[in-house]
A and B are shown apart, each in its own frame.
Chain A
């Protein structure tokens, strides 16, 4: 044993023990895991929250010194970023200017023209300020070019010099340009961007205060103009700044100014994420989600797919968090952008292990205990998991040695993440999986209980939520097309989307949410208009409208659309004597009313201290970014503002007027008081706004209607409302396929009932032209597969009447049948008597009377019990020939001559006695001994040409002539009951209960044996044995111990015989020399189903629910899937897929090459086993009194054909597909022959 092997074993054993542990104590382990996750994530709390908002830190001005680059450990309150000099020191000079006293001769433009004009003198003052040979030029932040994309801003932003911005920049800091400007507002607003803007605009940048506070508009109520002059200093000289402050204060004293001047604020900016950077990030996240989606989609065969997928994602995510947390704990601060590397980390860690684990556990045998399943699944995959993990660690280690800091950090995170992921997989996910599996088994148990307890089927309701209640059964022989939407089918994708939409009412909800958001935005952006509008509406509509009106009167006029009177500014407001400045006064309660014409008051309050806080947080970054200076991960220091108060006299304001100002001024104020003009203009403005809102609303409404219309078109089929009109009785509209313009082939599929059997049908066999059936009593009937006529009845008068349900009853039944050996005693009835009478007479005749069968079609199906009345001649002939055949075969073994040796030979009897060793009763009744086989029931039947081979429970093999109903030969070599038969060419293989396998050769010894071939050329050779031929059946070889346990399945094709047994093995024999080629081991339960076809495809299914596909040439296992909970009951392969059915009443369709389950069809209880494939794409399954046709490619139900009225309790247990595309299924005591007509058309 190599080291590798030993290692592997050790790992596997360790995993096994671990799996046992996890599955045994799920709750403590999950608690433990959660605790450890939380512990590891705890350090994450220290990390700053993600976000791009700036962070502030305030220091005092007096003892300020530029922070050094080295971190100082003692100053713990200092943030990490507060190191080194800032990008710039921002010194703002806050100017408040007003024309006072205000008098009525002034026009609104005067409010800001002269105050703005004073900026130039202040600027001059600042520029020229010198303090001990230091000028502003030396200290300020020198900027170079603007970014190339900002050419249009070149005129207004400084270039190649100090970064000093003020409103004067609009006029290139030139007083003459300002004076010559006819329309200041236009100049200011021409640079404003249109539409919605979130970042700082040029106006904000130059004025340095939020746009609304500047007071630069015609309707200002305060008539105070506020602006700042912003200076960016590259280095901090306390004395210079102090002297500047002193100088400005001295020049323009602010009377009541109590601004604090002792704090400077340092603002640190995070990395800015722009749209351009966001796109790759979003892309990686989309890819990540696609990866997670495609991975978790593979989880199958568990109780809760979503739960496990969630657990998998949680495993990966929390392992990432743990890795970051652990790294932080050990002092490694993440410098990488977490959001960016996160997707790659997930991809590196991957979900693969989790999926592999799930698959491995799920594919362990179901009959094991949950603990053992988990343990086994874990240990199966242990080696590959360890190998993968080692490989990944190696790769990451290599990455670590690139010595690139970023990659090293990534690798470190990845290593810790991998290890913690492994830990979580082992503890968290495994435990979750065990819980899930346990739940599944419980559910399975609950579901199975009623069926296993032998309960009658009609209670599928609560147990099978996915099944529709059976539709009202229509009259017999009609077809209903079930709407298959509720079966778990694979519908076309588009339809599934539509169904999903319909089911979740997604569209409606989205529309509702959209509307709510829209209204919210409206309310948010336009509170005044909408709110007043709503208020007006409410007041109008309220029943108390009259009473409620007066209080609202004051509000309603503000909204012009609601009340036309308000637009007429000439009309007096409800208040007869309005104070002209009542608006501004109302808002500014602090102002005392001094005069009818108020003078603007300049006040300084604490809100002016840090006016920059009200700016957009992108204000500074965008200002600096214009000069290609990034503030990301850096900080600026904002010095306390310098307040400047300017009072201007009215005369000064008039002097600085531009000639056009008066023209632009609003028309003479009809009513004294500028306040009212303001109001009227505002209402006009509000009116325009309201119209805009209304237009927007209308537009949105139109869009909504269009959207709804589209949705309607999508959700409703185009031919909605035309259902059923052209096609009288067929409900086509139910089918989801309508939208393709397709409806399933409408053809009259009417089942043909073949009646005649009195008991349930036991065996079915067909060669395409003929159909043989055998009932529990032992009657064999031969039918014409084309017409459904009954050709022959091979009566069996006695026999075992017991219903055999399973293998358990075999011995009892056999014993009974053997005890009641004399068939004449139990087999009452006239025919029996006739038989007995005629028997001796007809003994030597070799009857070949085809003429007698002329009237045979009269016996056809509908005559149920007339088999007793059937012409005696037939009975005669059959029994007579029966006898002859028996004689020739049983007593002259290996004797080709047909007519000889009727007298029984002692060896034969000896042999027979040996075979039925415990039955001393039998030898005496030698003459009718051929009747002994009547007592035993038929267990297996095969039909080839016109020979029926039957295997009986007594171990006897008989060959009957299908047309004449005569026994051609019989072989009693075996003792044990024949459980399965295969009849291929001229060989018969019989599998016996004791596990032995007998090979017989059928020899036709007629010299002129014309082996005419009936049927079409491509049929397997089905020679028509004429009745003159002498047929002998010789045991060529008997494999005594083919299997240790009873052989359950026997199939033959392509020169191979395949047997499956309860001893868990499949054996492959060559048909010619009966040599065992392979013993295939791989199942962990008895074999229950085998499929082999001409192309040497071999598939087997076992009691463990597994399906194995084998290579017949090499004996190797090609694929192995765990398919069913419970036995696999039948298996069919097509060229592309494998169809299996199981005791769990599921029909699963697998891809043959990959072993992936394509889809499954839930069957009704007890009908799972019957299925057949008509063509490559058409599947037939049996149900409760019906057969269903499915499209194999998509799993769509094409048609359901009901077999009869009285089919409630009867389920189709066997289903046989004939060559002529007909289907035969047993149906209680009746047979049903269903043609698929369209297939037939094609055939002809």
Chain B
């Protein structure tokens, strides 16, 4: 009976541009996508630097001397992928309705990102005896990452699927000579690449879910008000 009152609509108004942005659905989507994109670009730059330092990947020399030490198209690609994955995860969660088993907190997300960077670090800097050992270790680490921070079947499935797709795409890219790996051991690429992809998907999915949590909360409030 008492509808949204003028007062509360005033309260809605007074939330200012930020909250209305969050409550607006498309705007929220865009905002989240932009944030995820940034995260993706940033991680791509940083992690690529790790690989380039150890001469794991080789880009043409003139590109190497540029600021970002990798081809210009790598960070945008990673960013786009991150945005897609980060939006896909909460969407899938909503569709499947699988309840979260773990607490969703930013500290957990940060931990997850740190472990992800650590996995990359290990892949680039730790000297392993052979490639099989390296790949197996990284695979175990990635699955451990999933178990520690995600633990949802849907997350695992999506991670595996995207990792396979991304590996295929990388194979194609290397096959066409866009760039190359110094010591490929799995067709044209390194065999640990799928593990890194998987860990990345889990991490970005985690971030995306955490971001979606905000929208969910605000929307919940809003629908209850209406």
A residues contacting B by CB (< 8 A) are: 148-149, 276-277, 279-280, 283-284, 287-288, 290-291, 294-295, 297-298, 340, 343-344, 347, 350-351, 395, 398, 402-407, 492-493, 737, 739-740, 742, 744-745, 1016, 1018-1019, 1134-1136, 1151, 1174-1178, 1189, 1191, 1193-1194, 1196, 1198, 1219, 1221, 1236, 1238-1239, 1241-1243
Q: Are B11 and A1178 in contact (CB under 8 A)?
A: yes
Q: Are A1176 and B224 in contact (CB under 8 A)?
A: yes
User: Which chain B residues border A1174 with CB–CB below 8 Å?
Assistant: 2, 5, 7
Q: Are B114 and A291 in contact (CB under 8 A)?
A: yes
0/1 per residue, B178-195, Cβ < 8 Å to A? Answer: 000000000000000000
Q: Are A1239 and B6 in contact (CB under 8 A)?
A: yes
Q: Are B7 and A742 in contact (CB under 8 A)?
A: no
Q: Are B61 and A1191 in contact (CB under 8 A)?
A: no
CA distance A448 to B202 in the complex (A): 50
User: Which chain A residues border B113 with CB–CB below 8 Å?
Assistant: 287
Q: Are A737 and B14 in contact (CB under 8 A)?
A: yes
CA distance A1119 to B3 in the complex (A): 30
Q: Are A404 and B8 in contact (CB under 8 A)?
A: no
Please give the number of chain B residues whose Cβ is less than 8 angstroms from any Cβ of chain A in the complex: 57
CA distance A406 to B137 in the complex (A): 12
Q: Are A294 and B107 in contact (CB under 8 A)?
A: yes
User: Which chain A residues border B118 with CB–CB below 8 Å?
Assistant: 284, 343-344, 347
Q: List 18 A-B contacts (CB under 8 A).
A: A277-B49, A290-B110, A343-B118, A403-B133, A404-B126, A404-B129, A737-B14, A739-B16, A740-B17, A1136-B217, A1174-B7, A1175-B2, A1176-B4, A1177-B8, A1193-B11, A1193-B221, A1194-B15, A1243-B5
Given known contacts A276-B49, A1016-B1, A1175-B2, A1238 and B7 CB-to-CB distance under 8 angstroms:
yes
Q: Are A280 and B13 in contact (CB under 8 A)?
A: no
Q: Are A294 and B7 in contact (CB under 8 A)?
A: no
CA distance A283 to B137 in the complex (A): 23
User: Which chain A residues border B137 with CB–CB below 8 Å?
Assistant: 402, 404, 407
User: Which chain A residues border B5 with CB–CB below 8 Å?
Assistant: 1174-1175, 1178, 1221, 1236, 1238-1239, 1242-1243
Q: Is B220 an interface residue (CB 8 A)?
A: yes
Q: Which of A277, A402, A1016, A1191 contacts B11 (CB 8 A)?
A: A1191
Q: Are B114 and A280 in contact (CB under 8 A)?
A: no
Q: Is B69 an interface residue (CB 8 A)?
A: yes
Q: Which of B50, B106, B220 contacts A294 (CB 8 A)?
A: B106
Q: Counting chain A CB atoms within 10 Å of each CB, which of B1, B7, B17 scores highest? A: B7
- What distance in Å separates the Cβ of B94 from its nearest Cβ neighbour in chain A? 15
User: Which chain B residues border A1135 with CB–CB below 8 Å?
Assistant: 220-221, 224
Q: Which of B4, B17, B42, B127 contacts A1175 (CB 8 A)?
A: B4
0/1 per residue, B98-120, Cβ < 8 Å to A? Answer: 00000001110111011101100
User: Which chain A residues border B24 with CB–CB below 8 Å?
Assistant: none
Q: Is B25 an interface residue (CB 8 A)?
A: no
Of residues 118 to 157 in B, which have CB atoms within 8 Å of A's CB atoms? 118, 121-122, 125-129, 133, 137, 140, 144
Q: Are B2 and A1219 in contact (CB under 8 A)?
A: yes
- What distance in Å separates the Cβ of B120 from its nearest Cβ neighbour in chain A? 8
Q: A148-B61, A404-B137, A1175-B8 are in contact. List 5 more A-B contacts (CB 8 A).
A: A347-B118, A403-B133, A1136-B220, A1176-B4, A1238-B5
User: Which chain B residues border A350 with CB–CB below 8 Å?
Assistant: 111
CB closest chain-A residue, reference B144: A395
Given known contacts A1178-B5, A1242-B3, A343 and B11 CB-to-CB distance under 8 angstroms:
no
CA distance A107 to B128 in the complex (A): 65
CA distance A1196 to B15 in the complex (A): 11
User: Which chain A residues border B111 with CB–CB below 8 Å?
Assistant: 291, 347, 350
User: Which chain B residues border A148 with CB–CB below 8 Å?
Assistant: 61
Given known contacts A407-B137, A1176-B8, A1136 and B2 CB-to-CB distance under 8 angstroms:
no
CB closest chain-B residue, reference A282: B46
CA distance A707 to B9 in the complex (A): 38
Q: Are A744 and B10 in contact (CB under 8 A)?
A: yes
CA distance A1136 to B219 in the complex (A): 11
CB closest chain-A residue, reference B3: A1242
User: Which chain A residues border B16 with CB–CB below 8 Å?
Assistant: 492, 737, 739-740, 742
CA distance A744 to B118 in the complex (A): 50
Q: Which of B8, B65, B105 contacts A1178 (CB 8 A)?
A: B8
Q: Are B46 and A343 in contact (CB under 8 A)?
A: no
Q: Counting chain A CB atoms within 10 Å of each CB, which of B9, B10, B11 scores highest? A: B11
Q: Which of B4, B17, B106, B115 contacts A1242 (CB 8 A)?
A: B4
CA distance A1239 to B7 in the complex (A): 6
CA distance A246 to B69 in the complex (A): 50
Q: Are A492 and B18 in contact (CB under 8 A)?
A: yes
- What distance in Å separates the Cβ of B143 from its nearest Cβ neighbour in chain A? 11
Q: Are B115 and A347 in contact (CB under 8 A)?
A: yes
User: Which chain B residues border A1193 with CB–CB below 8 Å?
Assistant: 11, 15, 221
CA distance A197 to B144 in the complex (A): 46
User: Which chain A residues border B15 with CB–CB below 8 Å?
Assistant: 740, 1193-1194
User: Which chain A residues border B133 with CB–CB below 8 Å?
Assistant: 402-404
- What distance in Å separates the Cβ of A1193 from its nearest Cβ neighbour in chain B? 7
Q: Are A1136 and B224 in contact (CB under 8 A)?
A: yes
Given known contacts A287-B113, A404-B129, A1176-B225, A1191 and B14 CB-to-CB distance under 8 angstroms:
yes
CA distance A297 to B110 in the complex (A): 13
Q: Counting chain B CB atoms within 10 Å of each CB, which of A279, A1177, A1194 scores highest? A: A1177
Q: Which of B1, B42, B49, B126 contacts A407 (CB 8 A)?
A: B126
- What distance in Å separates the Cβ of B140 from its nearest Cβ neighbour in chain A? 7
CB closest chain-B residue, reference A1190: B11
CB closest chain-B residue, reference A274: B53
CA distance A407 to B13 in the complex (A): 55
CA distance A290 to B115 in the complex (A): 13
CA distance A1016 to B3 in the complex (A): 14
Q: Are A283 and B18 in contact (CB under 8 A)?
A: no
- What distance in Å separates the Cβ of A485 from its nearest Cβ neighbour in chain B? 16
Given known contacts A283-B46, A295-B107, A492-B18, A277 and B53 CB-to-CB distance under 8 angstroms:
yes
Q: Are A1177 and B225 in contact (CB under 8 A)?
A: yes
Q: Is B47 an interface residue (CB 8 A)?
A: yes
CA distance A331 to B53 in the complex (A): 32
User: Which chain A residues border B4 with CB–CB below 8 Å?
Assistant: 1175-1176, 1242
CB closest chain-A residue, reference B5: A1239
Q: Are B7 and A284 in contact (CB under 8 A)?
A: no
User: Which chain B residues border A493 with CB–CB below 8 Å?
Assistant: 18
CB closest chain-A residue, reference B7: A1238
CA distance A347 to B111 in the complex (A): 6
CA distance A740 to B15 in the complex (A): 8
- What distance in Å separates the Cβ of B117 from its nearest Cβ neighbour in chain A? 5
CA distance A518 to B41 in the complex (A): 34
Closest 5 CB pairs of A and B: A1238-B6, A291-B110, A1135-B224, A294-B107, A742-B14
Of residues 175 to 219 in B, which have CB atoms within 8 Å of A's CB atoms? 217
CB closest chain-A residue, reference B224: A1135
User: Which chain A residues border B114 with CB–CB below 8 Å?
Assistant: 284, 287-288, 291, 343-344, 347
CA distance A1174 to B6 in the complex (A): 12
Q: Counting chain B CB atoms within 10 Å of each CB, which of A149, A737, A1193 scores highest? A: A1193
CA distance A499 to B171 in the complex (A): 53
CA distance A879 to B108 in the complex (A): 70
Of residues 54 to 75 in B, which have CB atoms within 8 Å of A's CB atoms? 61, 64-65, 69
CB closest chain-B residue, reference A1135: B224
- What distance in Å separates the Cβ of A435 from its nearest Cβ neighbour in chain B? 25
User: Which chain B residues border A1134 with CB–CB below 8 Å?
Assistant: 224
- What distance in Å separates the Cβ of A550 from its nearest Cβ neighbour in chain B? 56
CA distance A1236 to B2 in the complex (A): 12
User: Which chain A residues border B17 with CB–CB below 8 Å?
Assistant: 740
CA distance A1135 to B61 in the complex (A): 60
Q: Are A298 and B50 in contact (CB under 8 A)?
A: no
CA distance A1239 to B6 in the complex (A): 6
User: Which chain A residues border B110 with CB–CB below 8 Å?
Assistant: 287, 290-291, 294
User: Which chain A residues border B42 with CB–CB below 8 Å?
Assistant: 283
Q: Are A406 and B117 in contact (CB under 8 A)?
A: no
